[in-house]
Amino acid sequence: MNKSIIFSLLLLLLFTNNSFAQSIKALEDQLNRTEDLSEKMRLHYEIAVKVLNSDPAKASEYAHMAYNNATDLKNNLMMGKSSYINAEGFYRRRDMSNAKIRYERSLGHAKSAGDGNTALQCYKKLQEIAVSNSDFRAAYTYGQQAIDMLSKGVVKQATENFSSSSSNAAWQKEKEQLLKEKRALELQLSSTSQEKEKLNYDKTKLATDKTKLSKEKEKVEQSLSTITTNLNEKEKAISQMSAQQAKLEAIKANREKQIAILKKSQAEDELVLQKKQNEIKQKDLQLEKNANLRNMLLLVSGSGIALAGLAFSRYRSKKKANVALEDKNKIIEQEQERSEKLLLNILPPAIAQELKEKGKAIARRYEESTVLFTDFKNFTNIAERLSPEELVSQLDFYFKGFDAIIKKYNIEKIKTIGDAYMCAAGLSGKKSDATAMVKAAYEMKEFMKTAQYEKEANSLPFFEARIGIHTGPVVAGVVGDDKFAYDIWGDTVNIAARMEQHCEPGEINISESTYWQVRYTFDCQYRGKIHAKNKGEIDMYYVKNLLD
């Protein structure tokens, strides 16, 4: 046996009885005074052993220092024993992971040093940890290794200088106990294998059942989704019927009034034109009558006077005819200007010019246009409290205000439908200026607030507007022959309407595509997402303030 190991064992036995008699304080004082590395190793180890029961954490700390001393001295025996006490400290604190690492380290050193006693204790502890973790195969392996070690006489060899007949009996008893535990573990392993096979079978069956259930669940969810969608569509259609009917009634009344106004205006224009034409005819008759009278007088007069009078009469007739012609031309020009003004009120200049030149207009696609929708809160309820004249007057007041605002930003008014107002930017051939549209919407919002304050002060009904804006491609064109209308179509229009529908009164709700163009001009608040048909989820933002 290695001399250093024998020497260490002798030292350990020599100082064991005395060290236990000393107090921990005395050992610590002695540790502080000594400079000898072997002495420090011994004292660290003894303190660790003494405090193991009362303070396992402190025991681990001192055992670790003893291990470091033994490492410096290359003393495998003490490295194994110190590591074992260190592991015990962790074991008693139920830190099985760290305990297992240190037991395995102690086992390695004990085997190298031929310390069968420490090695046997390590096997037992490792077996206990494996059982506590239900790792019966590892526990069986540790037990078998301990039995093999006992069978080879390793323990006896390590302790041959200190053994007795009683200790040999103890080792034999330990071996029998290990064999008994081995048999118990073999039974446990056999039972565990059977349970594992059963669990694997159950797991396979559960996986199959889960797959079947998942497919059935998908079918049920798909069916439920279809039913829910149909119900939602029907409920939406039912809820919209009454509101839509009220809107249609208001639209019908508004249109009838507008038609009556247009018919009256047309009749007045026709009367004025007829009156002018009659005046021109009367002037022509008077001129003709005067000319005939002058001709008769000239015939009575002399030939020279007749010629002079005839020339003068022709001059006067021509002059008056020219005056009458100028009057006719002025009337025609006025009517043309009026017609052109009316045309420009409902069509963009380029479309109006194309209609005048070709008699028709080709539909155009604009890759980027910004569309705005407004709608009034509780329009139906307020409309029921107003007479038709008052209702039209209110709508005229608000829509004229909107017209004046969008005109400043070169935005094209598309149409009004009842209480809804629709306009678009980017239809003049230039790229859409979303910032201009949002500025116009912001002014509309302020205009509505001012109107609300004034009407509340006079106890008059007022409207609150929801404003929705989206930027994207549209198709624009003219439909109809005699009574044509300019309109725009596309998903952009539908999404702008969705923005308005999901907006609160008094707010401006914009889509993500518009937000990216105005985010450096306006302070915007994120609101979440809505689902748009054929577009998926779309982010929404409220426009709060104009940035400095």
Q: What angle do CA 197, 202, 205 make, to 5 degrees?
A: 130
- Residue 34 sits in the same domain as residue 156: yes
Instruction: Give the whole-angstrom CA distance, residue 437 versus residue 488.
Output: 16
Are 461 and 386 a contacting pair, CB within 8 Å?
yes
Question: What backbone phi and psi angles, to 5 degrees, belong to 530?
Answer: -130, 155
Chain position carrying tokens 């008994």: 180
Mean pLDDT of all residues in 56-82:
96
Q: How many CB atoms within 10 Å of residue 458?
A: 7
Q: What three-state secondary structure class fits 483?
A: coil
Share of the chain above pLDDT 90, in %: 47
Quick one: tokens of 68? 């470091």
Question: Are residues 526 and 386 part of one domain?
Answer: yes
Do 409 and 320 share a structural domain? no
Which two structure tokens, joined as six digits, stand for 490? 């596309």
Highest mean pLDDT among 40-54, 226-240, 283-297, 319-333: 40-54
Return the sign of the alpha-carbon dihedral for residues 302, 307, 312, 316: positive
> What's the domain range around 96?
3-163
* Helix (H/G/I), strand (E/B), else coil: 473: strand
pLDDT band with cut points at 50, 70 and 90 for residue 407: very high
The span from the CA of 160 to the CA of 146, in Å, is: 18
Q: Does the reported pTM lie above 0.75?
A: no
On whether residue 450 sits in a domain, the answer given is yes
The two three-digit tokens of residue 116, written as one number: 């069968």
11 has pLDDT over 50:
no
Q: Is 30's pLDDT higher than 70?
A: yes
Question: Which amino acid appears at position 408 of this protein?
Answer: K
Examine the domain organization and report whether 297 and 387 are in the same domain.
Answer: no
User: Does 224 fall in a domain?
Assistant: no
Q: Of 120, 139, 163, which residue is a domain's last?
A: 163
Residue 11 forms part of a structural domain: yes
CB 470 within 8 A of CB 514: yes
We report the CATH number of the domain holding residue 519 as: 3.30.70.1230
488 sits in which H/E element: strand 485-489
**Cα(376)–Cα(250) distance, integer angstroms:** 13
Task: Say if 405 falls within a structural domain.
Answer: yes
Secondary structure letter of residue 54 according to DSSP: T
pLDDT at 371: 98
Is 77 part of any domain? yes
| pLDDT tens figures, 303-337 | 555 455 556 667 777 777 677 777 776 776 666 66
pLDDT, position 298: 55
Query: What Å distances lie between residue 54 and 40, 61, 81, CA to CA?
Result: 22, 13, 19
Higher per-residue pLDDT: 116 or 213: 116
125 lies in the same domain as 274: no
What are residue 374's phi and psi, to 5 degrees?
-125, 155
pLDDT for residue 357: 77
Give the C-alpha distances (Å, rounded to integers) separating 439 from 99, 109, 261, 266, 473.
Answer: 72, 82, 34, 38, 21
* Structural domains of the chain, count: 3
Q: Identify the domain boundary among 346, 371, 395.
A: 346
Q: Report if residue 207 sits inside a domain.
A: no
Q: Residue 130: which CATH number? A: 1.25.40.10
Encoding tokens for residue 281?
A: 């005819």
Cα 287 to the chain's mean position, in Å?
83
Q: Which comes out higher in pLDDT, residue 485 or 9? A: 485
DSSP string over 73-107: HT-HHHHHHHHHHHHHHHHHTT-HHHHHHHHHHHH
Q: What is the pLDDT of residues 473-517, one digit of tens each?
A: 999 988 877 677 889 999 999 999 999 999 999 999 999 999 999
DSSP E strands in 380-464: the ranges are 412-417, 420-425
User: What proportions of the chain, in percent to the nearest 5, are helix, strand and coil?
Assistant: 70, 15, 15
Listed range (49-58, 61-70, 250-259, 327-336) with the worst mean pLDDT? 327-336
Residues 252 and 149 in one domain: no
The single-letter DSSP state of residue 411 is P
Q: Which of 292, 316, 346 is the last residue of a domain?
A: 346
> Which one has a higher pLDDT value, 325 or 302?
325
pLDDT tens-digit map of 174-230: 556 666 666 665 666 566 566 667 667 778 877 887 888 888 888 878 878 888 888
Closest CA to 510 of 535, 474, 466, 541: 541
- pLDDT: which is higher, 217 or 420: 420
395 and 542 part of one domain: yes
Inform me whether the pLDDT recorded for 18 exceeds 60.
Answer: no
Q: Is 81 part of a structural domain of the chain?
A: yes
Please, are residues 175 and 147 in contact by the beta-carbon 8 Å criterion? Answer: yes
**Per-residue model confidence (pLDDT) at position 168:** 54
Above 90 in pLDDT, residue 361?
no
For CA atoms 29, 91, 14, 19, give the dihedral sign.
positive
The stretch 459-473 carries a mean pLDDT of: 95
